[in-house]
Copies of this chain bind each other. A is one copy, B any other.
Protein backbone atom coordinates (compact mmCIF):
# COMPACT_ATOMS: atom_id res chain seq x y z
CA UNK A 1 0.00 0.00 0.00
CA UNK A 2 2.78 2.40 0.93
CA UNK A 3 4.62 1.59 -2.30
CA UNK A 4 1.51 2.17 -4.37
CA UNK A 5 0.98 5.49 -2.64
CA UNK A 6 4.61 6.36 -3.27
CA UNK A 7 4.25 5.67 -6.96
CA UNK A 8 0.89 7.24 -7.61
CA UNK A 9 -0.43 9.68 -5.03
CA UNK A 10 0.48 13.37 -4.98
CA UNK A 11 -1.08 16.49 -3.42
CA UNK A 12 -3.42 18.36 -5.72
CA UNK A 13 -2.71 21.97 -6.52
CA UNK A 14 -4.88 23.38 -3.74
CA UNK A 15 -3.02 21.47 -1.03
CA UNK A 16 0.45 21.98 -2.48
CA UNK A 17 2.82 24.73 -1.42
CA UNK A 18 2.78 25.92 -5.01
CA UNK A 19 -0.80 27.07 -4.32
CA UNK A 20 0.55 30.57 -3.83
CA UNK A 21 1.52 30.57 -7.51
CA UNK A 22 -1.58 28.71 -8.67
CA UNK A 23 -3.66 31.32 -6.92
CA UNK A 24 -2.00 34.18 -8.72
CA UNK A 25 -2.47 32.30 -11.96
CA UNK A 26 -6.20 31.67 -11.44
CA UNK A 27 -6.98 35.20 -10.28
CA UNK A 28 -8.04 33.98 -6.87
CA UNK A 29 -7.86 36.81 -4.39
CA UNK A 30 -8.24 35.05 -1.10
CA UNK A 31 -7.20 31.80 0.58
CA UNK A 32 -10.85 31.32 1.54
CA UNK A 33 -11.61 30.24 -2.03
CA UNK A 34 -9.48 27.14 -1.56
CA UNK A 35 -11.78 24.15 -2.01
CA UNK A 36 -10.85 23.22 1.56
CA UNK A 37 -13.17 25.86 3.02
CA UNK A 38 -16.08 24.81 0.81
CA UNK A 39 -15.85 21.16 1.73
CA UNK A 40 -14.02 20.59 5.01
CA UNK A 41 -16.95 21.00 7.45
CA UNK A 42 -19.01 18.59 5.33
CA UNK A 43 -16.09 16.19 5.15
CA UNK A 44 -15.82 16.07 8.92
CA UNK A 45 -19.53 15.40 9.23
CA UNK A 46 -19.24 12.53 6.74
CA UNK A 47 -16.22 11.24 8.63
CA UNK A 48 -18.28 11.17 11.83
CA UNK A 49 -21.04 9.28 10.03
CA UNK A 50 -18.62 6.61 8.80
CA UNK A 51 -16.83 5.95 12.08
CA UNK A 52 -19.29 6.88 14.83
CA UNK A 53 -22.52 6.64 12.85
CA UNK A 54 -22.10 3.26 11.19
CA UNK A 55 -19.99 1.94 14.08
CA UNK A 56 -22.43 2.67 16.86
CA UNK A 57 -25.55 1.93 14.82
CA UNK A 58 -24.40 -1.70 14.82
CA UNK A 59 -23.74 -1.91 18.58
CA UNK A 60 -27.36 -2.85 19.24
CA UNK A 61 -26.52 -6.55 19.72
CA UNK A 62 -26.16 -7.40 23.37
CA UNK A 63 -22.71 -8.92 23.04
CA UNK A 64 -21.19 -7.82 19.76
CA UNK A 65 -20.49 -4.15 20.40
CA UNK A 66 -16.70 -4.54 20.34
CA UNK A 67 -16.97 -6.22 16.96
CA UNK A 68 -19.41 -3.62 15.66
CA UNK A 69 -17.35 -0.59 16.56
CA UNK A 70 -13.93 -2.21 16.28
CA UNK A 71 -14.25 -4.02 12.97
CA UNK A 72 -16.10 -1.04 11.51
CA UNK A 73 -13.05 1.03 12.49
CA UNK A 74 -10.67 -1.51 10.96
CA UNK A 75 -12.34 -1.98 7.60
CA UNK A 76 -13.11 1.72 7.20
CA UNK A 77 -9.45 2.60 7.78
CA UNK A 78 -8.31 -0.08 5.37
CA UNK A 79 -10.98 0.72 2.81
CA UNK A 80 -10.31 4.42 2.58
CA UNK A 81 -6.66 3.90 1.67
CA UNK A 82 -7.57 1.39 -0.97
CA UNK A 83 -10.38 3.64 -2.19
CA UNK A 84 -8.02 6.58 -2.72
CA UNK A 85 -6.00 4.38 -5.05
CA UNK A 86 -8.88 2.70 -6.88
CA UNK A 87 -10.96 5.86 -7.30
CA UNK A 88 -7.81 7.67 -8.34
CA UNK A 89 -7.04 5.16 -11.06
CA UNK A 90 -10.53 5.31 -12.45
CA UNK A 91 -11.42 8.96 -11.98
CA UNK A 92 -8.48 11.27 -11.62
CA UNK A 93 -5.36 9.63 -13.00
CA UNK A 94 -3.47 12.36 -14.78
CA UNK A 95 -2.65 10.92 -18.21
CA UNK A 96 0.53 12.95 -18.62
CA UNK A 97 2.29 12.33 -15.33
CA UNK A 98 0.63 9.05 -14.36
CA UNK A 99 -0.08 10.47 -10.91
CA UNK A 100 -3.24 10.80 -8.84
CA UNK A 101 -3.71 14.23 -7.31
CA UNK A 102 -5.69 14.22 -4.06
CA UNK A 103 -7.47 16.96 -2.16
CA UNK A 104 -10.33 17.20 0.30
CA UNK A 105 -12.86 16.03 -2.31
CA UNK A 106 -10.86 12.81 -2.78
CA UNK A 107 -11.04 12.19 0.95
CA UNK A 108 -14.82 12.62 0.91
CA UNK A 109 -15.11 10.25 -2.03
CA UNK A 110 -12.97 7.68 -0.24
CA UNK A 111 -15.27 7.92 2.77
CA UNK A 112 -18.27 7.46 0.45
CA UNK A 113 -16.69 4.39 -1.09
CA UNK A 114 -16.09 2.92 2.35
CA UNK A 115 -19.73 3.58 3.22
CA UNK A 116 -20.75 1.08 0.55
CA UNK A 117 -18.70 -1.65 2.22
CA UNK A 118 -19.90 -0.77 5.71
CA UNK A 119 -23.48 -1.14 4.52
CA UNK A 120 -22.60 -4.62 3.29
CA UNK A 121 -21.02 -5.34 6.69
CA UNK A 122 -24.43 -4.70 8.24
CA UNK A 123 -25.89 -7.75 6.50
CA UNK A 124 -23.22 -10.15 7.74
CA UNK A 125 -22.62 -8.56 11.17
CA UNK A 126 -21.61 -11.16 13.72
CA UNK A 127 -21.29 -14.03 11.26
CA UNK A 128 -17.91 -13.43 9.65
CA UNK A 129 -14.29 -13.11 10.74
CA UNK A 130 -12.22 -9.92 10.45
CA UNK A 131 -10.18 -11.51 7.65
CA UNK A 132 -13.36 -12.15 5.69
CA UNK A 133 -14.33 -8.52 6.25
CA UNK A 134 -11.03 -7.30 4.87
CA UNK A 135 -11.42 -9.46 1.77
CA UNK A 136 -14.99 -8.27 1.37
CA UNK A 137 -13.83 -4.66 1.62
CA UNK A 138 -10.93 -5.17 -0.80
CA UNK A 139 -13.24 -6.47 -3.52
CA UNK A 140 -16.09 -4.15 -2.53
CA UNK A 141 -14.00 -1.02 -2.97
CA UNK A 142 -12.71 -2.27 -6.32
CA UNK A 143 -16.19 -3.03 -7.60
CA UNK A 144 -17.40 0.30 -6.26
CA UNK A 145 -14.76 2.24 -8.19
CA UNK A 146 -15.61 0.48 -11.46
CA UNK A 147 -19.35 0.84 -10.98
CA UNK A 148 -18.96 4.51 -10.01
CA UNK A 149 -16.83 5.12 -13.10
CA UNK A 150 -19.51 3.63 -15.33
CA UNK A 151 -22.41 5.45 -13.71
CA UNK A 152 -20.90 8.89 -13.16
CA UNK A 153 -18.40 9.16 -16.01
CA UNK A 154 -19.65 6.99 -18.85
CA UNK A 155 -23.41 7.35 -18.30
CA UNK A 156 -22.91 10.84 -16.88
CA UNK A 157 -25.64 10.25 -14.30
CA UNK A 158 -25.77 12.58 -11.30
CA UNK A 159 -25.61 10.92 -7.88
CA UNK A 160 -24.18 13.33 -5.33
CA UNK A 161 -25.42 11.54 -2.23
CA UNK A 162 -25.04 8.08 -3.71
CA UNK A 163 -28.56 6.58 -3.62
CA UNK A 164 -27.41 4.38 -6.49
CA UNK A 165 -23.63 4.07 -6.32
CA UNK A 166 -23.44 3.77 -2.51
CA UNK A 167 -26.70 2.51 -1.06
CA UNK A 168 -28.17 0.35 -3.80
CA UNK A 169 -24.81 -1.19 -4.64
CA UNK A 170 -23.76 -1.66 -1.00
CA UNK A 171 -27.15 -3.06 -0.05
CA UNK A 172 -27.35 -5.71 -2.74
CA UNK A 173 -23.65 -6.54 -2.41
CA UNK A 174 -24.13 -7.32 1.27
CA UNK A 175 -27.43 -9.16 0.81
CA UNK A 176 -26.03 -11.42 -1.88
CA UNK A 177 -22.96 -12.25 0.20
CA UNK A 178 -25.24 -13.03 3.12
CA UNK A 179 -27.32 -15.28 0.86
CA UNK A 180 -24.22 -17.22 -0.28
CA UNK A 181 -23.03 -17.56 3.30
CA UNK A 182 -26.45 -18.77 4.56
CA UNK A 183 -26.20 -20.57 7.91
CA UNK A 184 -29.10 -23.00 8.45
CA UNK A 185 -28.20 -23.53 12.12
CA UNK A 186 -27.90 -19.92 13.13
CA UNK A 187 -30.57 -20.45 15.79
CA UNK A 188 -27.84 -22.07 17.90
CA UNK A 189 -26.63 -18.58 18.77
CA UNK A 190 -30.13 -17.33 19.45
CA UNK A 191 -29.24 -16.36 23.03
CA UNK A 192 -26.84 -13.77 21.61
CA UNK A 193 -29.25 -12.18 19.17
CA UNK A 194 -31.33 -9.21 20.17
CA UNK A 195 -30.37 -6.28 22.30
CA UNK A 196 -30.16 -5.27 25.94
CA UNK A 197 -31.30 -1.92 27.30
CA UNK A 198 -27.95 -0.13 27.21
CA UNK A 199 -26.87 -1.54 23.85
CA UNK A 200 -29.97 0.01 22.32
CA UNK A 201 -28.99 3.40 23.69
CA UNK A 202 -25.48 3.04 22.29
CA UNK A 203 -27.06 2.29 18.92
CA UNK A 204 -29.08 5.52 19.20
CA UNK A 205 -25.78 7.44 19.26
CA UNK A 206 -25.08 5.99 15.84
CA UNK A 207 -28.58 6.69 14.59
CA UNK A 208 -28.60 10.30 15.68
CA UNK A 209 -25.19 11.15 14.25
CA UNK A 210 -26.16 9.56 10.95
CA UNK A 211 -29.48 11.38 10.97
CA UNK A 212 -28.08 14.79 11.87
CA UNK A 213 -25.19 14.74 9.44
CA UNK A 214 -27.01 13.21 6.47
CA UNK A 215 -27.57 16.68 4.99
CA UNK A 216 -23.78 16.98 4.88
CA UNK A 217 -23.49 13.56 3.27
CA UNK A 218 -25.83 14.47 0.43
CA UNK A 219 -24.31 17.92 -0.05
CA UNK A 220 -20.63 17.18 0.45
CA UNK A 221 -19.64 16.96 -3.20
CA UNK A 222 -22.43 18.91 -4.90
CA UNK A 223 -21.76 22.22 -6.62
CA UNK A 224 -20.39 25.09 -4.58
CA UNK A 225 -22.93 27.69 -3.52
CA UNK A 226 -26.58 27.02 -4.20
CA UNK A 227 -26.03 23.30 -4.92
CA UNK A 228 -24.78 22.52 -1.44
CA UNK A 229 -27.33 24.87 0.10
CA UNK A 230 -30.27 23.19 -1.64
CA UNK A 231 -29.11 19.63 -0.97
CA UNK A 232 -28.98 20.41 2.74
CA UNK A 233 -32.49 21.85 2.87
CA UNK A 234 -34.00 18.94 0.94
CA UNK A 235 -32.32 16.24 3.01
CA UNK A 236 -33.17 17.97 6.28
CA UNK A 237 -36.86 18.15 5.42
CA UNK A 238 -37.02 14.63 4.02
CA UNK A 239 -35.45 13.14 7.15
CA UNK A 240 -37.76 15.06 9.46
CA UNK A 241 -40.76 13.71 7.63
CA UNK A 242 -39.43 10.13 7.72
CA UNK A 243 -39.22 10.20 11.50
CA UNK A 244 -42.91 10.98 11.83
CA UNK A 245 -44.11 8.18 9.56
CA UNK A 246 -41.70 5.69 11.09
CA UNK A 247 -43.05 6.36 14.56
CA UNK A 248 -46.62 6.19 13.34
CA UNK A 249 -46.17 2.89 11.48
CA UNK A 250 -44.11 1.35 14.27
CA UNK A 251 -46.85 2.13 16.78
CA UNK A 252 -49.70 1.00 14.52
CA UNK A 253 -48.01 -2.32 13.73
CA UNK A 254 -48.24 -3.52 17.32
CA UNK A 255 -51.48 -4.47 18.99
CA UNK A 256 -50.33 -2.70 22.14
CA UNK A 257 -49.30 0.40 20.20
CA UNK A 258 -45.79 0.20 21.63
CA UNK A 259 -42.81 1.46 19.67
CA UNK A 260 -39.99 -0.83 18.55
CA UNK A 261 -36.46 0.50 18.98
CA UNK A 262 -35.29 -1.32 15.83
CA UNK A 263 -37.54 0.84 13.69
CA UNK A 264 -36.54 4.08 15.40
CA UNK A 265 -32.86 3.22 15.02
CA UNK A 266 -33.04 2.37 11.35
CA UNK A 267 -36.13 3.42 9.43
CA UNK A 268 -35.80 7.06 10.48
CA UNK A 269 -32.73 7.20 8.25
CA UNK A 270 -34.36 5.88 5.08
CA UNK A 271 -35.32 9.37 3.92
CA UNK A 272 -31.70 10.43 3.65
CA UNK A 273 -30.88 7.40 1.52
CA UNK A 274 -33.80 8.03 -0.79
CA UNK A 275 -32.81 11.62 -1.43
CA UNK A 276 -29.21 10.79 -2.27
CA UNK A 277 -29.69 11.37 -5.97
CA UNK A 278 -32.33 14.08 -6.04
CA UNK A 279 -31.09 16.23 -3.14
CA UNK A 280 -29.26 18.66 -5.40
CA UNK A 281 -32.15 18.96 -7.86
CA UNK A 282 -35.02 21.45 -7.57
CA UNK A 283 -37.24 18.75 -6.08
CA UNK A 284 -38.86 21.51 -3.97
CA UNK A 285 -39.42 21.37 -0.20
CA UNK A 286 -42.77 19.59 -0.38
CA UNK A 287 -41.31 17.06 -2.81
CA UNK A 288 -38.69 16.23 -0.21
CA UNK A 289 -41.41 15.81 2.41
CA UNK A 290 -43.35 13.42 0.18
CA UNK A 291 -40.29 11.24 -0.44
CA UNK A 292 -39.60 11.12 3.28
CA UNK A 293 -43.22 10.28 4.02
CA UNK A 294 -43.25 7.19 1.80
CA UNK A 295 -39.76 6.04 2.79
CA UNK A 296 -40.70 5.94 6.44
CA UNK A 297 -43.68 3.74 5.62
CA UNK A 298 -41.82 1.40 3.28
CA UNK A 299 -38.78 0.98 5.46
CA UNK A 300 -40.75 0.26 8.63
CA UNK A 301 -43.02 -2.15 6.77
CA UNK A 302 -39.85 -3.79 5.51
CA UNK A 303 -38.72 -4.59 9.05
CA UNK A 304 -42.13 -5.96 9.96
CA UNK A 305 -42.98 -8.02 6.86
CA UNK A 306 -40.16 -8.24 4.33
CA UNK A 307 -37.21 -9.15 6.57
CA UNK A 308 -38.87 -12.29 8.00
CA UNK A 309 -39.92 -13.22 4.48
CA UNK A 310 -36.37 -12.81 3.14
CA UNK A 311 -34.97 -14.97 5.89
CA UNK A 312 -37.56 -17.73 5.65
CA UNK A 313 -38.12 -17.95 1.91
CA UNK A 314 -35.02 -16.55 0.25
CA UNK A 315 -32.56 -17.70 2.92
CA UNK A 316 -31.06 -14.26 3.36
CA UNK A 317 -30.03 -13.56 6.95
CA UNK A 318 -29.78 -9.80 7.18
CA UNK A 319 -28.53 -8.94 10.68
CA UNK A 320 -29.07 -5.18 10.57
CA UNK A 321 -31.90 -5.12 8.06
CA UNK A 322 -29.91 -3.29 5.40
CA UNK A 323 -32.53 -4.27 2.85
CA UNK A 324 -34.98 -1.94 4.56
CA UNK A 325 -32.54 0.83 5.33
CA UNK A 326 -30.29 0.90 2.25
CA UNK A 327 -31.32 -1.38 -0.62
CA UNK A 328 -35.01 -0.47 -0.98
CA UNK A 329 -34.67 3.24 -0.18
CA UNK A 330 -31.65 3.34 -2.50
CA UNK A 331 -33.74 2.02 -5.37
CA UNK A 332 -36.49 4.50 -4.52
CA UNK A 333 -33.85 7.22 -4.53
CA UNK A 334 -32.66 6.19 -7.97
CA UNK A 335 -36.21 6.28 -9.32
CA UNK A 336 -36.97 9.64 -7.70
CA UNK A 337 -33.75 10.99 -9.16
CA UNK A 338 -34.59 9.77 -12.66
CA UNK A 339 -38.08 11.24 -12.52
CA UNK A 340 -36.92 14.56 -11.10
CA UNK A 341 -34.21 14.82 -13.74
CA UNK A 342 -36.59 13.99 -16.56
CA UNK A 343 -39.07 16.55 -15.28
CA UNK A 344 -36.53 19.36 -15.01
CA UNK A 345 -37.30 22.45 -17.06
CA UNK A 346 -35.68 25.73 -17.87
CA UNK A 347 -38.52 27.66 -16.27
CA UNK A 348 -37.73 26.12 -12.86
CA UNK A 349 -33.94 25.94 -13.06
CA UNK A 350 -33.07 28.87 -15.30
CA UNK A 351 -30.94 28.34 -18.38
CA UNK A 352 -27.56 28.46 -16.68
CA UNK A 353 -28.90 26.72 -13.58
CA UNK A 354 -29.95 23.72 -15.64
CA UNK A 355 -26.51 23.45 -17.20
CA UNK A 356 -24.80 23.77 -13.82
CA UNK A 357 -27.02 21.28 -12.03
CA UNK A 358 -26.75 18.50 -14.58
CA UNK A 359 -23.29 19.49 -15.77
CA UNK A 360 -24.37 19.63 -19.42
CA UNK A 361 -20.94 20.63 -20.66
CA UNK A 362 -18.30 19.18 -22.94
CA UNK A 363 -19.43 15.90 -24.54
CA UNK A 364 -22.80 16.17 -22.88
CA UNK A 365 -23.77 19.69 -23.79
CA UNK A 366 -26.58 18.64 -26.12
CA UNK A 367 -28.19 16.16 -23.76
CA UNK A 368 -31.85 16.84 -22.93
CA UNK A 369 -33.35 16.35 -19.50
CA UNK A 370 -35.40 13.43 -20.77
CA UNK A 371 -32.31 11.59 -21.97
CA UNK A 372 -30.71 12.43 -18.65
CA UNK A 373 -33.63 10.76 -16.87
CA UNK A 374 -33.08 7.66 -18.96
CA UNK A 375 -29.39 7.54 -18.13
CA UNK A 376 -30.22 7.98 -14.42
CA UNK A 377 -32.45 4.90 -14.62
CA UNK A 378 -29.75 3.01 -16.49
CA UNK A 379 -27.30 3.96 -13.75
CA UNK A 380 -29.53 2.37 -11.16
CA UNK A 381 -29.67 -0.91 -13.07
CA UNK A 382 -25.88 -0.91 -13.29
CA UNK A 383 -25.57 -0.52 -9.52
CA UNK A 384 -27.99 -3.40 -8.85
CA UNK A 385 -26.19 -5.68 -11.32
CA UNK A 386 -22.81 -4.87 -9.81
CA UNK A 387 -24.16 -5.49 -6.32
CA UNK A 388 -25.74 -8.85 -7.08
CA UNK A 389 -23.10 -10.28 -9.41
CA UNK A 390 -20.20 -8.90 -7.39
CA UNK A 391 -21.75 -10.16 -4.18
CA UNK A 392 -22.23 -13.65 -5.61
CA UNK A 393 -18.59 -13.89 -6.69
CA UNK A 394 -17.14 -12.43 -3.49
CA UNK A 395 -19.54 -14.54 -1.42
CA UNK A 396 -18.22 -17.70 -3.11
CA UNK A 397 -14.67 -16.67 -2.32
CA UNK A 398 -15.62 -16.03 1.30
CA UNK A 399 -17.19 -19.49 1.52
CA UNK A 400 -13.79 -21.15 1.22
CA UNK A 401 -13.01 -22.70 4.60
CA UNK A 402 -9.74 -20.81 5.06
CA UNK A 403 -10.92 -17.52 6.57
CA UNK A 404 -11.53 -18.57 10.17
CA UNK A 405 -15.23 -17.72 10.40
CA UNK A 406 -17.01 -18.42 13.69
CA UNK A 407 -19.02 -21.57 14.37
CA UNK A 408 -22.81 -21.27 14.32
CA UNK A 409 -23.09 -21.30 18.10
CA UNK A 410 -20.45 -18.57 18.46
CA UNK A 411 -22.01 -16.05 16.14
CA UNK A 412 -22.77 -12.61 17.57
CA UNK A 413 -20.28 -13.23 20.38
CA UNK A 414 -17.31 -10.91 20.95
CA UNK A 415 -15.35 -13.52 22.86
CA UNK A 416 -14.30 -15.24 19.64
CA UNK A 417 -12.17 -12.32 18.52
CA UNK A 418 -11.73 -10.08 21.56
CA UNK A 419 -10.27 -10.28 25.03
CA UNK A 420 -13.33 -9.78 27.23
CA UNK A 421 -12.88 -9.17 30.92
CA UNK A 422 -15.94 -10.23 32.81
CA UNK A 423 -17.44 -13.52 31.71
CA UNK A 424 -19.05 -14.46 35.02
CA UNK A 425 -21.00 -11.27 35.36
CA UNK A 426 -22.10 -11.69 31.79
CA UNK A 427 -23.17 -15.29 32.30
CA UNK A 428 -25.40 -14.09 35.11
CA UNK A 429 -27.09 -11.64 32.81
CA UNK A 430 -27.40 -14.21 30.05
CA UNK A 431 -28.92 -16.61 32.51
CA UNK A 432 -31.61 -14.19 33.55
CA UNK A 433 -32.34 -13.28 29.97
CA UNK A 434 -32.57 -16.91 28.94
CA UNK A 435 -35.04 -17.58 31.74
CA UNK A 436 -37.15 -14.85 30.35
CA UNK A 437 -37.16 -16.07 26.77
Contact = CB atoms under 8 A, between A and B. Distances in A.
A38 B36 CA distance: 10
B350 A233 contact: no
B421 A195 contact: yes
Contacts of A309: none
A370 B9 CA distance: 27
Interface residues of A, number: 126
A36 B225 contact: yes
A40 B9 contact: no
Given A5-B285, A81-B237, A224-B31, A70 B38 contact: no
Interface in A240-282: 240-241, 243-244, 247, 254, 258-261, 264, 268, 282
Given A40-B232, A285-B10, A261 B197 contact: no
A201 to B, nearest CB: 5
A433 B422 contact: yes
A371 interface: no
A229 B104 contact: yes
Interface in A396-437: 417-426, 428-429, 432-433, 435-436
Interface stretch (A48-56, A143-151, A315-323): A48-56
A93 to B, nearest CB: 15
Nearest to A425: B432
A196 to B, nearest CB: 5
Contacts of A197: 63, 65, 420-422, 426
Interface string A29-45: 11111111110111011
B243 A77 contact: yes
Contacts of A36: 225, 228-229, 232
Contact of A240 (B55, B70, B77, B435): B77
Given A107-B233, A201-B65, A212 B74 contact: no
Contacts of A422: 196-197, 432-433, 436
Given A11-B285, A59-B201, A73 B208 contact: yes
Nearest to A6: B286
Given A15-B229, A20-B353, A350-B20, A429 B433 contact: no
Number of copies: 3
Nearest to A18: B350
A275 to B, nearest CB: 15
B289 A17 contact: no
B102 A51 contact: no
Contacts of A364: none
A152 interface: no
A239 B78 CA distance: 11
A170 to B, nearest CB: 20
B81 A349 contact: no
A376 B109 CA distance: 35
Interface in A52-69: 52, 55-56, 59, 63, 65-66, 69
B349 A17 contact: yes
A159 interface: no
Contacts of A426: 197
B232 A282 contact: no
A284 interface: yes
Contacts of A17: 226, 230, 282, 348-350, 353-354, 356-357
27 contacts: A2-B293, A14-B226, A15-B229, A16-B353, A17-B354, A20-B226, A20-B350, A21-B353, A23-B225, A32-B33, A34-B225, A34-B229, A36-B232, A40-B41, A48-B212, A56-B205, A66-B201, A73-B208, A73-B243, A81-B289, A102-B285, A107-B233, A195-B421, A205-B205, A254-B419, A259-B418, A421-B433
Question: What 9 pairs between A and B have smallest CB-CB spacing?
Answer: A17-B353, A31-B225, A19-B226, A15-B229, A77-B243, A6-B286, A31-B224, A5-B286, A424-B436
Given A2-B286, A421-B433, 11 more contacts: A11-B285, A19-B226, A34-B225, A40-B42, A40-B232, A59-B201, A65-B197, A81-B241, A103-B233, A259-B418, A261-B418
